[in-house]
Amino acid sequence: MCAAARLAEPARMTVDIARGLLAGGSERYEKHLPDLAGVYRDDEAYAEAVARDDGEPVYWVESSTPETGRGALTIGLSVLRPGRVGDEFAMTRGHLHAQSEFAELYYGVAGSGVMLLESVEGECRALPITPGVVVHVPGGWIHRSVNVGDDTLVTLFTYATEAGQDYGIIADAGGMRQLVVADGADWTTRPNPDHGGYRA
């Protein structure tokens, strides 16, 4: 008789809002400003920002993936520092899931942000996310987090581990269709003239 498959160990994690940490998580990655070449449209403003960069990460992700395969969930914390490059607010690279039919959920923990979502066919949404707000990203939507406030934007997320990420789809299109930019003391969206359409 075959031995039963060993179950993954249940995990308990603690969110440290002040430090942007997920205690009990098992993975972490960071993105620094020099890693984000091509993400911001204003090349001159980006070069100036890199020249005065403090060397700290612009954003980081701490996550837990205790198991893989069908049915597994990745749970994590996304932490995005405030700032602007030109008139664009600080943002993550953004992605579509490699298996694009998979959804993702984001829960606002701290700060003030916008979840920018676009479909390959050209639909666009910009949904504010603040503490206590949940954003459900259905399958098929390209998405990125944008920090439009003065404080660090912290969101808790979860998605099916097998979904994967396609980070290249935005770069290949010349950026997302819409930009999130400053509008006085507020924010707005405007079309990105460099956007060339998403590959199917």
Convert 34-85 into a string of H (helix), E (strand) and C (coil): HHHCCCCCCHHHHHHHHHCCCCCCCEEEEEECCCCCCCCEEEEEEEECCCEE
pLDDT band at 5 (very low <50, low <70, confident <90, very high): low
Q: Does any domain span residue 166?
A: yes
Q: Provide the domain count of the chain.
A: 1
Q: Does any domain span residue 90?
A: yes
148-194 pLDDT, tens digit per residue, is 999 999 999 999 999 999 999 999 999 999 999 999 999 999 999 99
Q: Does any domain span residue 3?
A: no
pLDDT band at 125 (very low <50, low <70, confident <90, very high): very high
Q: Does any domain span residue 6?
A: no
Q: Does any domain span residue 196?
A: no
CATH number of the domain where residue 127 is located: 2.60.120.10
* CA pair distance 197, 118, nearest whole angstrom: 11
DSSP 33: G
Mean pLDDT of 26-31: 94
Q: Does any domain span residue 125?
A: yes
- What pLDDT is recorded for position 3? 52
Residues spanned by the domain of 91: 14-191
* CA pair distance 63, 54, nearest whole angstrom: 25
46-93 pLDDT, tens digit per residue, is 999 999 999 999 999 999 988 888 889 999 999 999 999 999 999 999
Q: Does any domain span residue 197?
A: no
- What pLDDT is recorded for position 112? 98
Mean pLDDT of 133-144: 98
Least Cα distance to 76 among 155, 178, 11, 141 occurs for: 155
- Tell me the C-alpha to C-alpha distance, in Å, between residue 98 and each of 56, 86, 130, 147, 184: 29, 31, 27, 24, 37
Q: Does any domain span residue 198?
A: no
- What pLDDT is recorded for position 68? 83
